[in-house]
């Protein structure tokens, strides 16, 4: 009968909690318990992390967040970064006005000559965003097709 009993691995935390996989979200309740163990019980972050099956650095981060903001709710993730090309909007329009038949690659090269480095896709998306008339087609902005296609 004793051969059928499975032993719990030594690295499994107390309470039967398994260690979450790296990069997984941890709910606010578990964050709160880990932070309370540090703040109220005087436990260090490493011990709290072991108790709840969490990462030490995550617990340290949540304790710092709690002390600074008074909560352990996760912040917003992702989101849009401001485009690096937007501040150059007026300059780009001046270049296009001076050279109306310029292609996306031509515009990218003209900007590079001025010390501004952007990828082809970035330049193309900028031009699509700033078309004055959405129904109008700017053939110069599109990549020119090779003959036979």
Residues 67-121: tens digit of each pLDDT: 999 999 988 777 777 889 999 999 999 999 999 888 899 999 999 999 999 999 9
- The span from the CA of 19 to the CA of 28, in Å, is 16
Q: Are 104 and 123 a contacting pair, CB within 8 Å? A: yes
Name 144's Cβ contacts closer than 8 Å, sequence gap at least 6: 103
Residues 61-80 pLDDT 10s: 999 999 999 999 988 777 77
- CATH of span 12-69: 1.10.10
Structure tokens at 97: 């006005």
Q: Are 31 and 61 a contacting pair, CB within 8 Å? A: no
pLDDT at 20: 57
Would you list the domain boundaries of the chain?
12-69, 86-141
């Amino acid at each position: 009968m004793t051969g059928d009993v499975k032993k719990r691995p030594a690295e499994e935390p107390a309470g039967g909690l398994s260690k979450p996989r790296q990069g997984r979200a941890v709910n606010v309740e578990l964050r709160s318990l880990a932070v309370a163990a540090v703040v109220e019980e005087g436990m260090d972050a490493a011990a709290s992390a072991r108790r709840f099956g969490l990462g030490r650095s995550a617990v340290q981060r949540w304790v710092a967040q709690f002390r600074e903001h008074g909560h352990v709710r996760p912040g917003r993730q992702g989101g849009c970064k401001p485009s690096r090309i937007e501040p150059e909007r007026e300059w780009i329009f001046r270049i296009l006005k001076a050279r109306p038949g310029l292609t996306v690659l031509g515009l990218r090269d003209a900007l590079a000559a001025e010390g501004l480095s952007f990828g082809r896709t970035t330049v193309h998306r900028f031009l699509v965003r700033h078309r004055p008339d959405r129904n109008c087609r700017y053939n110069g902005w599109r990549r020119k097709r090779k003959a036979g296609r």
